[in-house]
A and B are shown apart, each in its own frame.
Chain A
Amino acid sequence: MPTVASFEVSYLQYLDENSQAVNDLPDFAKDTNLLTGLYKDMLFARTLDYRAMSLQRMGKMGTYPGTLGQEAVGVGSGSCLGDDDVLVPYYRGSNTMIQHGVKPHELLLYWGGDERGSDFKNPRVRQDFPIAVPIATQCLHAAGVATAMKARGQTGRAVLTEIGEGGTSEGEFYEALNVAGVWNLPLVCVINNNQWAISVPAEMQTACETFAQKGIAAGIESLQVDGNDVIAVKDAVGRAMEKARSGGGPTLIEAICYRLCDHTTADDASRYDDPEAREEAWAKEPLKRLGDYLVNLGAVTKKQLEEFEVEAKEAVEKEVEIYFDTILNNPQPVGAMFDYLYAELPEKTKAQREEVIARDLRAREGG
């Protein structure tokens, strides 16, 4: 029988587990200042994460999905976003969002239970979507944004979306890839393969050897990258975005890492996680990977890495201050629950708006 089609999935890595360069580095990675910047951004991500967790434990933050061990995926892909690109993130996309220009305190507001956290103030991200909690819905929104760009003949723009490996089992994920393939949409989808969908391990989601190959079935260029190697992530996503911007169509990128934290603060991974696998994963984690590389190269010193930590803590604290100042000194008025339902509130609903405001007033006066 003749073979009518055959496929390959490639794996991209620049820095191996021992921080040794295993391939010729892409041009951007020869700029050690740029790499140091990526390191600092990943460090900020981790610092923000730990702080959000501690706020949650103190009852000052809602359920929070951490990104520990996944910093390179978010920072690496987010760093490829340009002014005219649109990001359609998922709930674990904090770092991608921050890279594009969402303010960290906006994320704290959102997870702290204040809708204003999704009203991104930075002009650069005004068209970005808010965090998608219903899994895989974001992939279709992203395909829609890409459809609009294509329909208007806007080259030079592209859409980035992201999803967990578990989420790729949802129909809407396949539907998005399919349409992106048929219509050659300017769309890049990054799969954060952190090995777990809450308690369900990746191998229970698919019989495929890779999640990347799901894109092949949609006729999309698809590849795997080392998700602990920020250079590999940035290189793959950067090239895919450039291809999309110039009319070359969609790409699916599976970034392999490990969720080193609980699923969220509401989860206890010790119920199902494999301590050995977790320990192995710690040896591969992205900050150490890049930090050691930069130190070995002589681009930074160990002492400098420590100073970066202090800087990151200070930067995070500033964001936390804005968060507290907003929720304590400038809480949303209760009527706000009605103010954004429609462009104009229906007559019928106005009475309810008045009721909730009056009740709030009465409750305050009463107590």
Chain B
Amino acid sequence: MPTVTLIEAVTMAMDHEMSVDEDVVVLGEDVGRNGGVFRATDGLQEKHGEDRVIDTPLAEAMIAGLSVGMAAQGMKPIAELQFMGFMFPAFNQIVTGAARLRNRTRGRLSVPLVVRMPYGGGIHAPEHHSESTEALFAHIPGLKVVTPSSPARAYGLLLAAIRDPDPVIFLEPKRIYRMVKQEIEDDGEAYPLETCFIDREGDDVTLVSWGATMHETLLAADELADEGISCEVIDIATIAPLDMPTIFDSVEKTGRVVIVQEAAKTGGVGSEIAAEISEHRLMSLIAPIGRVAGYDAIMPLAKMERHYMPQVVRITDEVKKVMDYS
């Protein structure tokens, strides 16, 4: 079994699917010869050819719009946008094109498209290279939004995203691209979308996160365990549509929730999760729902970014706050 990083798992999933399904193609800026600026498509053009791993002109609206047209013909494009910060020209095509074609044609046309993009901070990148705006996508009906927190999940969820008949925004937490390695069988086994993963069982408080901050969330759970606080840790993995039943079950057990996100607090995915819980499980709660989030500030440049990111201490502080209720 190969031992791979998260980004290598992304490559492996694309490679696998290109090998078994000739409709799958990869397109984007620098994805071919260069293998992507993060090397996510490394080796794919050599193996699958220039017709299937396509270096496009530099234009994100074009990449997304082309992909809609290709997908409407039954191809399965995997479009790479170089950084989430540069998805905005493509956003129009994703929202007005990809997300709506099935609905507009009453199912006559559909868009089996994956748009991949690295996101998140913590790597001392230049301006516009560190934001987390997953909530913008999650807000759009017709899109699925997925983000892996481990190599195995990257492999399994990306396979599912490629096979999904609808457009999937696949967000890659670049801070953990190379943080850990895992053994993964390259067997084409997809993970289900729309399912949360319970990474740790616990009784006192439910910690909910996704993507790179799963790392800090699990570290916080470790620290808290030493202090006798038992955390249940959930990786939502699919941000939209959300698997709320798994979260509800956990809330019924613990009665306390802390949501951790790197994105700015206001209008974030955490806000939606908190709203769902208060709508449907208010009576199970014994404490107000806590949120640890990026501040409502523009992501600072490298020198100050660490102050913006949710650190472990902010999570443990918030958990202790909700533990005051009983």
Contact = CB atoms under 8 A, between A and B. Distances in A.
A271 interface: yes
B303 A169 contact: no
A134 B302 contact: no
Contacts of A327: 303
B295 A62 contact: no
B88 interface: yes
B295 A135 contact: no
B64 to A, nearest CB: 12
Interface in A180-206: 197-200, 204-206
A336 B301 CA distance: 11
A200 B307 contact: no
Interface in A79-119: 91, 110-115
B315 to A, nearest CB: 12
B133 to A, nearest CB: 13
B128 interface: yes
Nearest to A135: B58
Given A169-B58, A170-B59, A332-B303, A198 B124 contact: no
Interface stretch (A68-76, A291-299, A352-360): A352-360
Given A134-B86, A134-B128, A198-B30, A267 B295 contact: no
A113 B126 CA distance: 7
Given A271-B33, A337-B297, A352-B297, A134 B85 contact: yes
B62 A115 contact: no
Contacts of A206: 57
B37 A337 contact: no
B55 interface: yes
A363 B312 CA distance: 12
A360 B314 CA distance: 12
A341 interface: yes
A275 interface: no
A166 interface: yes
A349 interface: yes
A204 B45 CA distance: 16
A261 interface: no
Contacts of A133: 85, 126-129
Given A63-B126, A171-B89, A332 B304 contact: yes
Given A115-B301, A200-B58, A352-B296, A337 B307 contact: yes
A337 B298 contact: yes
Interface string A332-343: 101011100100
Contacts of B302: 62, 112-113
A272 interface: yes
Interface residues of A, number: 46
A338 B59 contact: no
B271 interface: no
Contacts of A170: 58-61, 89
A249 interface: no
A209 B118 CA distance: 34
B195 interface: no
Contacts of B88: 134
A8 to B, nearest CB: 25
A271 B34 contact: yes
A113 B33 contact: no
A360 B126 contact: no
Nearest to A362: B313
A283 interface: no
Nearest to A174: B59
Nearest to A360: B307
Contacts of B60: 170
Contacts of B300: 115, 337
Nearest to B301: A113
Interface string B62-96: 10000000000000000000000110110000000
A250 interface: no
A166 B305 CA distance: 30
B308 interface: yes
Contact of B307 (A113, A267, A271, A359): A359
A331 interface: yes
Given A113-B303, A199-B33, A359-B307, A337 B295 contact: yes
A151 B121 CA distance: 41
Contacts of A319: none
Nearest to B38: A266
Contact of A200 (B29, B62, B85, B308): B29
Contacts of B85: 133-134
B30 A62 contact: no
A294 B25 CA distance: 54
Nearest to B55: A200
Shortest beta-carbon contacts, A-B, top 9: A113-B302, A199-B34, A169-B57, A166-B58, A113-B303, A113-B301, A169-B58, A337-B297, A169-B59
11 contacts: A112-B302, A134-B85, A166-B57, A200-B55, A205-B57, A271-B34, A327-B303, A331-B303, A341-B298, A352-B265, A363-B313
Interface of B: 29-30, 32-35, 37, 55, 57-62, 85-86, 88-89, 124-129, 265, 295-298, 300-305, 307-308, 313-314
